[in-house]
Structure 1
């Protein structure tokens, strides 16, 4: 009997997750757990059993996108131009975060006492790209992936209500990469 219950629980989880993905896509990180329960035709206690916190819900909803970003970082690690490889990956993190409502909130830093599997995975994946760029002298050596993700989260959250959030986030990210002072070398981000 327990195998049937486990299979049923897995199906129930998959159904709730599918509903949660739609709700987060529509309403962002503020998606209602109660609405998810109603739409999934389960009690709110069932939703909370699977997703005890909003963070757990956002991380589960974002898992596939996080995995894709991590795989992309690995692909770019072997590129010849370490600056271009890092910036290509960061551009993709910005684009994903803008298009996947709730992803920026899932990546947001909650403080040292809260485990964040999304940020941890992204930091681990991006670290080889950043270390290589720092070794090549194209990124300040004290820069961390956590710094870059925090910058991206801030940009995405600040621009999510603009008429064209993707364009605004891209503009601000490029400004951050280029810096505020004009330069003679005008390398494009």
Structure 2
């Protein structure tokens, strides 16, 4: 009869592995908070109770406040994340669509982004120092993204004339933010007219 082998000791996590696990957990929590905040802000506005965001994210209010001590910190993080996603889509479209189609598709996406981010406009123009960096970040991400699309469409011969990227961003942004009767459908129709005026048939 052989002796039973002693149970093997479970390897202990190294400090580096533990640190990586904690960072991964923190990143997942932060992503969940920002996604929840995006949805809550869309539904209730940027003044929605923080507990609504924490509940939707499945984290405690204390966890939320440790990462975003002020409401303005959370609002800025949400808008920066959404700005990044919209700006990054331009590069994806450059690689998968013809230049004219990439420009048209991205302008529609940008119009949709602005139409659902009225809180962003309020923050941009609030005069609150907490949001002072947002206008610069807005231009830093969106202007080069659109300028590349315009340049490629021009090089392909499908753009009617030169146009400043920031002027076009402002025009479509103002249109999207001021949609009244007809709502989103009206905005899309108007943006289609703008795109039709830019691109050669």
Bin the TM-score by the shorter chain. Answer: 0.5 to 0.7
Measure, in 2, the Cα distance between the counterparts of 1:22 and 1:42. Answer: 17
Structure 1 CA distance, aligned partners of 2:86 and 2:158?
A: 30
TM-score in terms of structure 2 length: 0.60
Matched with 1:41 is 60
Q: Describe how 1:67-78 pairs up with structure 2 within 5 A.
A: 67-76=88-97
Q: By how many angstroms is 1:17 displaced?
A: 1.9
Contact 2:146 2:165 in 1 (8 A): yes
Aligned residue-pair number:
169
| Deviation of the 1:31 alpha carbon | 5.1
Residue 28 (structure 2) pairs with residue 11 (structure 1): yes
CA displacement 1:133-171 (0-9 Å, x = unmatched): 456484443x22222122222111111x64x42211023
Q: Alpha carbon RMSD of aligned pairs, Å?
A: 3.8
Partner of 1:172: 190
User: Which residue pairs with 1:184 in the alignment?
Assistant: none
Aligned twin of 2:40: 23
TM-aligned CA deviation for residue 41 of structure 1:
2.4
* In 2: Cα distance, 1:103 partner to 1:63 partner: 17
CA distance in 2, matches of 1:104, 1:150: 16
Gap runs ≥5 in structure 1? 180-186
Unaligned runs of 5+ in 2: 1-14
Q: 1:121 aligns with which of 130, 141, 148?
A: 141
Instruction: State the shift of 1:8 in Å.
Output: 3.7
